[in-house]
Amino acid sequence: MNRHVLIVEDSRTQAMRLQLELQRCGLHVSIATTGTQGMATAQTTLPDVIILDVDLPELDGYTLCRTLKVNPTTAHIPIVMLTHRDEARDTRSGLEAGADDYIPKDIFAEQNVLESLRLLGIL
């Protein structure tokens, strides 16, 4: 059975780019465009991994990550944080919030996501 990836990202373009790259690798991908949607979808569909954009408009990504990690149903799901904030303290905050990886949004972002998913055993 194909592994399922949930992308929580409010930019359609960025979401689509990731989605297509991941689908090409044989993954099943769903997209949530808000933190609320992301939370709900994660709880109901229990994806194999969540790719979380930290810069969502109405909800602090770090908080969402922490919530997912604290909630017993979703705590086991690896979370890869994707963000424009690439300063050291942001990375730390992300990792402390429970993220399994923290990837800045630069031109290598998609490539790095794929590599991380490989290391996580999803790909």
Residues lying near other proteins in the complex (CB under 8 A)? 10-14, 16-18, 20-21, 23-24, 34-37, 39-40, 55, 57-60, 62-64, 66-67, 70, 78, 84-96, 100-110, 112, 114-116, 118-121
Nearest distance in Å: CB 73, other proteins: 14
Q: Which is nearer to other proteins, 1 or 107 (CB)?
A: 107
Nearest distance in Å: CB 104, other proteins: 7
In which region does residue 119 sit, left (phi positive, over 0), alpha (psi from -120 to 50) or beta (all else)?
alpha
Q: Which is nearer to other proteins, 1 or 13 (CB)?
A: 13
- Per-residue burial over 61-86, b if 16 or more Cβ lie within 10 Å, else e, is bbebbbbbbeeeebeebbbbbbbebe
Q: How far is CA 4 from CA 91, 108, 116, in A?
A: 25, 22, 15
- Tally of residues, the chain: 123
Nearest distance in Å: CB 19, other proteins: 9
Nearest distance in Å: CB 1, other proteins: 18
**Which residues have C-beta within 8 Å of that of residue 19, sequence separation ≥ 6?**
7, 29, 31
Q: Which is nearer to other proteins, 40 or 75 (CB)?
A: 40
Q: Which is nearer to other proteins, 1 or 88 (CB)?
A: 88
